[in-house]
Amino acid sequence: MIKVGIVGGTGYTGVELLRLLARHPHVEVEAITSRSESGLGVCDLYPNLRGHYDELRFSEPDPVRLGKCDAVFFATPHGVAHALAGELLEQGTRIIDLSADFRIRDAKLWAEWYGQPHGAPELLGEAVYGLPEVNRERIRSSRLIAVPGCYPTAVQLGFLPLLEAGLIDPQHLIADCKSGVTGAGRGAKVPSLLAEASESLKAYGASGHRHLPEIRQGLGDAAGNEVGLTFVPHLTPMIRGIHATLYGRLTSEPEDLQKHFEERYANEPFVDVMPPGSHPETRSVKGANMCRLAIHRPGDGDTVIVLSVIDNLVKGASGQAVHNLNLMFGFDETAGLDAPAIMP
């Protein structure tokens, strides 16, 4: 049994971590922090967790207490992990950061997109990008994990098999993505109000979104060179889920795209390549740490379309974080993550 801490436990990713870890056979949550809710019982804020965390209370971040944990999750806005990660690493604690603090390897590029200097550039060299389907072995031995963003997870898993094999033009990639409102976080914001988001669909960040450099970095690694990507996110009137419709231009005649995807993800417990002709739905992954993919080639032309769906709070955040934890500590990869999706 290992002990973990959660920094920033009152947001959606924080409560999702608690939900997943409640059924993890090898993990005990030792501490959970919140400056605004310090002293409040976890189950008083989240009654769905009654019976699992009845004695656990939110507390102020205490580096000494957190440093006694085997691992600490950061479910915080960007910039928070910068300040604490180094101190915790020195105490022997392993870090799993769900924020964007260590996802982009270039500190200057990070500063451009996040509007502030990077607070811990000395740690970027050892941070491992926590996409298990790409970096499984590096994750096992890492002390510092940068959990991928939700859009980057859906987009990369859809494009990776094509780019790794050189089947599509890396300079002409399109990612048309839709997300539920929980992707904007739990803070009160007018665009996320029911009367504002319901019965409406809108694009945002079309001229540049913070996830764009992260996606380009990952796809560039897969292609072996820089990629050209058009990425347009949209807000949809649903609570959870991401649907990414991905377009690529074939550069040669592939033997069997369906088989290619099936072989690439044959040993991946959390990627499901669906049968030919499928159209995966976001509700099919609600509450599950799963990415479902389907491949289409309209009219046998030179365009390939990949449909990729995930739950933005699970495979796009907290579930992927727990998957990284399992790899880091030698647990079964599916520990705490083997529940099917919730339907309807």
* Residues tagged active-site: 150
Tokens (6 digits) for 143: 């002390």
Cβ contact 7:72 at 8 Å: yes
Q: Which of 242, 271, 240, 275 is nearest to 333 (CA)?
A: 271
Q: Token match 């529940």: residue?
A: 339
| CA–CA separation, 333 and 263 (whole Å) | 19
Q: Is 141 exposed, middle or buried (0-12, 13-18, 19+ CB in 10 A)?
A: exposed
What angle separates helix 211-223 from helix 107-114, to the nearest 10 degrees? 150
**Please, which residues bridge with residue 202 across strands?**
235
- Give the rounded distance of the alpha carbon of 18 from its chain centre: 16
Quick check: helix, strand or coil at residue 310?
strand
Tokens (6 digits) for 198: 């319901």
Pairing label, strands 58-59, 27-33: parallel
